[in-house]
Amino acid sequence: KEILIVQPYMKHPLQNRWTLWFYKNDKNKPWQANLRLVTKFDTVEDFWALYNHIQLASRLMSGCDYAVFKDGIEPMWEDNRNKCGGRWLITLSKQQRMLELDQYWLETLLCLIGEAFDDYSNDICGAVINVRAKGDKIAIWTCDTENEEAVLHIGKTYKERLGLPMKVVIGYQAHADTATKSGLGVKNKFVV
């Protein structure tokens, strides 16, 4: 009699549980009502099952966002873990939507779930992608603008992981500044 030994397939656990949020711009409702918690995941396999299933960012309607945040952190400035923090912001041209948007967003997610920032990964809150007609944006949110060492390490590592050329400069903006920005645009607290 042949004995079949079935190797139980063990999922690979992530350091953190993450939540995927989706925001669809419906002007008739307050913005909080447009924000939906889609699902949570905490293994590599569940991440891929989700990512391979949902619509690519480049195919979302203008005005939509995806956000992936650590479980318990809401993708908004007001959240306790975000209000003293800021974001490394990648602004893309319209042409980049078809070429690089999906690639940059996936790389951002792999940085998050893979804990790519060593011990500074503790400062990571999440990431947001805004699909907009005037130019898409991707950002990684961190929890403390004053933790310069963490912010700069995260920015440098992120820029490398995205494969951005040295001459391309990315900026880190405090949410408090973004929230109160006048028309002039937001000043960068750090750049790499």
Partner 1 sequence: GTRIIYDRKFLMECRHSP
Q: How far is the CB of 48 from partner 1 (least distance, A)?
A: 5
Residue 175 tokens, joined:
């949410």
Tell me which residue of 132, 124, 84, 131 sits closest to 108, measured CA to CA: 124
90 binds partner 1 (CB under 8 A): no
Region near partner 1 per CB under 8 A, out of 6-14, 20-28, 96-104, 140-148: 6-14
Closer of 78 and 118 to partner 1 (Cβ): 118
Shorter beta-carbon distance to partner 1: residue 14 or 38: 14
63 binds partner 1 (CB under 8 A): no
Residue 60 CB partners (closer than 8 Å, separation 6+): 66, 131
Instruction: Tell whether residue 119 is a contact of partner 1 (CB under 8 A).
Output: yes
* Stretch 99-118: interaction string toward partner 1, x if CB under 8 A: --------x--x--xxxx-x
Residues in 156-175 that interact with partner 1 by CB under 8 A: 161
Of the pair 14, 84, the CB lying nearest partner 1 is at 14
**What whole-number distance in Å separates Cα of residue 28 and Cα of residue 46?**
34
Q: Which two tokens stand for residue 184?
A: 């002039």
Is the distance from CB of 90 to CB of 104 less than 8 angstroms? yes
**Residue 135, Ramachandran bin (φ over 0: left; ψ between -120 and 50: alpha; else beta):** left
Which one of the spans 40-48, 60-68, 137-145, 163-171 is the region binding partner 1 (CB under 8 A)?
40-48
- The first and second tokens of residue 152, run together, are 């700069």
CB of 66 vs partner 1, minimal distance in Å: 18
Cα distance between residue 111 and residue 92, in whole Å: 19
Decide: helix, strand or coil at residue 17.
Answer: strand
Q: Which residues bind partner 1 (CB under 8 A)?
A: 9, 12-15, 44-45, 48, 52, 107, 110, 113-116, 118-119, 121, 161
